[in-house]
Structure 1
Amino acid sequence: MHITNLISQYFGKFAKTQFPSFIQTIINNGYVKFLGLNMSEFKNPKHYKSLNLLFTRELEIAREINTDENVVISPTDSLITECGAVKDDTALQIKGMEYSVEELLTYDCSSNFDKVKNGSFMNFYLSPKDYHRYHAASDFTLKKLIHVPGKLYPVNLKYLNKELDLFVQNERVILECENNGKLFYMVFVGALNVGQMVFDFEPRVETNTNAQELKVYEYENLEISKGDCLGYFKMGSTVVMIWENDSVQIEELLNQNVKFGQKVATIN
C-alpha cells in the first residue's frame, strides 16, 4: 500500500468518528472558520455529527440549473484548472503537464479511443472548502463504470505542477456515458485525506481499500437525468470530463470558479 493511501485511511478514521457533541461542534466550527466555508446553503455546522458528514453535506437550498437539453452544466462546485482540446491522445492535468487519455481511461475503454481523440476536456478541482457532491452534467445513459485502484496524491495546484501523470497514477472511477449517440466520460480522481468516493447508484464500489484489481460494472438502460446527484467525495478532489470529438463547444473558463448547475459547454 502506498503511503498516501495509508495516511488517507488514518485520517478517514478520524473524520468519520462521532465525538461528543460539544467536541464535534468545536471541530466543525474550526474547520469552517479555518477554510472559510460558506454555509449559507447548508445546515448549521453543529448539525453534523462527524467531520465526514460536514464534508459530504447536502444542499438545503435547491440550485437553479439550466434545463436546456443542449447545455452541459458543471457537475461540481470547483475551480477549472485546465480545459481545451485533446490533442490526439494527450490532455493536460495543468499547463505543461501532459498525460495520456488512453492510460487515464484504461484499456477497458479501448474500443472508444478513436472517438475521444481530438475531443474536448475540462478539469474540475474541488478544494476542501467546496461542496463535495457531484452531479450529472447532462442527461445520459450510463454504459459502464470502471474502478481503478491507485495512489492518493494530493490534486491541488502544487502537485498538478509537480507530479507527472498524477491523474493516471491516482485511484479513480470512470463513468462511460452516452448522450444522443455521443460519447463522454466522467472521471472521478481520488486524493489525499480520506480518499473515498461514493456512488449512490453503485454500492459495490469501495475506494481507498487494499484492493489491487481493476473492476468493471456494465449497465443496460440506466438513465441519468441532468442535475441528479451521483455521489460524493469524502474530501476535495477532481472530476475530469472528456467528450467525443466535435460533440461539444466548451466555455472559456480556465482558472475560473464554477458552481454546480452553471453552464460549462454547449452540445453541438
Structure 2
Amino acid sequence: MVSYFVPRARFLLKAGNLRKTIQDQQQQLQPKHTQRNGNLPLVRHFRQLPKNDTSKLANKQGQQPIGKQQTQLQVRRNAISRWTGFLLRWAPMGLCVFGAIEWQLHKFRSIRDGAPRTASEFQSRVYCSLPLRIMSRCWGWLAACYMPNPLRPYVYGWYSSMFKVNIEEALYSDFNHYSSMAEFFTRPLKEGVRVINGKSPLVSPADGKVLHFGSASDSLIEQVKGVSYSIEDFLGPLQTVEQSREAMSYAQALKQKRDGSTELYQCVIYLAPGDYHRFHSPTAWEPTVRRHFSGELLSVSPKVAGWLPGLFCLNERVLYMGHWNHGFFSYTAVGATNVGSVEIYMDSELKTNRWNGFKVGAHPPSTYEYDELLLNAKQHGKQSLQKFEKGDLVGQFNMGSTIVLLFEAPKNFQFDIVAGQTIKVGESLGHIAANRN
C-alpha cells in the first residue's frame, strides 16, 4: 500500500512545482502596468468605494490617486452602458404594448364608426416594413436546393398530407422524381385530369379558391366583401393619350366598346400552397402590353386580403392587358410571401422578385412604379403577335399566390361561381345569358 501511494504523491508535488513555474513565467511576460494594477476587479469597481478608500487602495498598490476627469468619464460610460442595457431589454416589450394599444384603439374606432375592421395606415406600414422580400428570396433559394433521395418521400409526403396535395394527379406520382421542393411545387399534371369547358366563354385559369367576383363598373372594386381597391392603382395609367383625355371615368375609358352594351367584371382566384401551381389561359385572347409592378411581397391569404385594403395594389404583380371577343381583357399574376418568382413562359425577359435594397414601408408611390413592354410584332421581329387559346399554359408560381382577371363582357354575362368555392382549371366561371325580348 505504501509503495503504491508514494510515487503518486511525488508526481503531484512535481506537477504543483511545474504549475508554479508556468505561472511565474506568465507574470514576467505581462506588461508592467498590468502587474502594478494587481487586483483588477477592485480597480474596475472603484466607483463603488468612497473617495478615501479609493485613495488608500491606490496608495497601497503604489499608484497615484485617480484623477477627477478620469473618474467622471468612467461614471459616464457606466451610465451609458446601463441605459443601453435597459433599452435593449425593455424596448421590445414597450413596442408590443404600444402595438396592442394601437390595435385596440383602431378596433374601437371601427366599431364606433360602423366600418370594416381592416388595417390602419400605421398597421399597414408596419406590416410592409417586415423583411418579407429577404424571407422570400431565402425561401426561393432553399426550395431550389437539391433534395437527397432518402429524404424525398418523407419531406414531400409530409407536405402532401399537410396541404392536401393529390399527388396521383401529377404527371410523376413518385416522390423520388422531384429533385427539389421548387420542382415539386411546379409539378405538371397528367393529360386529361383537367377538362376544359368548351361551351363556357370564360373558364378558371388555375386551381384555387374564389375570393371575390362581380362588377367593376366603378373606380373602386371589391377585393373581398367590404374591402375595396382602386382599378387605376392596380392597372396603372391608361395606355394611350386619347384614353386619358376622354371626359369619363377610368373604368369606362378601359372599355373598347362604347355603345353601352358591355360592362367591366372581375374575378379573383387564390392558389393555396397545396394547389397545382401552374396557371392557364381562361379564354382565347391577345395580350398587347405587359407591366411589371415591383411592389411588396405580402401574404395574399383570404384572412390578409380581408384585413389589408389595397393588398393587390401593394404587391408585386405581372399584368398583361389586351383584348378578347368582347373587348378589353387583363390577366394579372400577383406575387406573395415566399413566392420565389413568377414565371411567364412566353416572356423570357421578365425577372420578378429582384433585390431592391432595404426600402421598407415606402409605399406609396414606390409600389406603383413599373416597367412596361409593348408586345408588338414590329419591335420584336415576330411574324405575329402572341395569342392564347382557351386552356393554354401561361406560367407558374413557385408557391401559392393569386390570379386576378379584369375583363369587359356583355351586360348579360353571369357568373357560375360563388365566393369561397374551390375551383379547378377549365371549370366554367360564367356564361352569357340569352336575351329575353
Band the TM-score falls in, shorter-chain normalisation: over 0.9
The alpha-carbon deviation at position 22 of structure 1 amounts to: 1.2
> What does residue 186 of structure 2 align with?
56
Name the residue aligned to 1:21.
Answer: 149
Name which of 292, 299, 304 aligns with 1:154: 299
What is aligned with 2:423?
258
Change in CA separation of 1:195 and 1:265 when aligned onto 2, cut-off 3 Å: farther
Deviation at 1:2, TM superposition (A): 5.8
Q: Deviations over 1:52-71 (max 9, x none)?
A: 01111111232221223x52
Q: State the alpha-carbon separation in 2 of the partners of residues 116 and 264 from structure 1.
A: 22
Higher strand share: 1
Task: Flag structure 1 segments of 5+ consecutive residues without an equivalent.
Answer: none
Query: Post-superposition shift, 1:158?
Result: 1.4
Query: How far has the Cα of 1:196 moved from its partner?
Result: 1.3
| Distance in 2 (alpha carbons) for counterparts of 1:130 and 1:56 | 10
Deviations 1:56-96 (A, max 9, x none): 1111232221223x521100001101111114111111111
Task: Assess if the C-alpha contact under 8 Å between 2:201 and 2:430 holds in 1.
Answer: yes
Contact 2:251–2:264 (CA<8 Å) still a contact in 1? no
Offset, 1:99: 0.3
Match of 1:99 among 215, 221, 229: 229
TM-score, normalising length from structure 1?
0.92
1:218-241 Cα distance to aligned partner (Å, 9 max, x none): 123221111110000110001111
8 Å CA contact retained: 1:116, 1:245: no
Contact 1:132 1:233 in 2 (8 A): yes
- Alpha-carbon distance between aligned partners in 2 of 1:190 and 1:172, rounded to the nearest angstrom: 6
Structure 2 distance, partners of 1:121, 1:218, is: 23
Q: Share of identical aligned residues, percent?
A: 28
CA distance in 1, matches of 2:333, 2:397: 9
User: Does residue 325 of structure 2 align to residue 180 of structure 1?
Assistant: yes
- In structure 2, C-alpha distance between the alignment counterparts of 1:234 and 1:136, rounded to whole Å: 18
* Cα distance between partner residues in 2 of 1:90 and 1:116: 14
Q: Secondary structure at the match of 1:232?
A: strand
Amino acid at match of 2:198: T
RMSD: 2.0
Question: For 2:335, which of 163, 181, 190 is the aligned residue?
Answer: 190
What is the alpha-carbon distance in structure 2 between the residues aligned to residue 103 and residue 195 of structure 1? 24
Shift of 1:193: 0.7
Residues matched between the structures, number = 267
Cα pair distance change 1:181/1:36, threshold 3 Å: closer
Distance 1:142 1:104, change over 3 A: same
- Given candidates 193, 199, 216, the residue that maps to 2:372 is 216
Q: Which digits, 9 at most, give the CA deviation of each residue in 1:196-234, with x for residues without a partner? A: 100000011111112585211212322111111000011
Q: 1:229 aligns with which of 376, 389, 393?
A: 393
Select the residue among 243, 248, 252 that pairs with 1:114.
252
Q: Which among 280, 283, 289 is matched to residue 144 of structure 1?
A: 289
Question: 1 CA distance for matches of 2:311 and 2:331?
Answer: 17
Distance 1:108 1:25 in 2: 50
Give the whole-Å Cα distance in 2 for the aligned partners of 1:24 and 1:206: 29
Shift of 1:180: 2.3
Aligned to 2:196: 65
Is the Cα contact below 8 Å between 1:149 and 1:171 reproduced in 2?
Answer: yes
Shift in Å, 1:30: 1.6
Residue in structure 1 matched with residue 310 of structure 2 by the alignment: 165
Choose between structure 1 and 2: higher helix proportion: 2
8 Å contact from structure 1 (residues 82, 254) kept in 2: yes
TM-score computed with the length of structure 2 as normaliser: 0.58
Contact map agreement 1:41 1:61 (CA 8 A) in 2: no
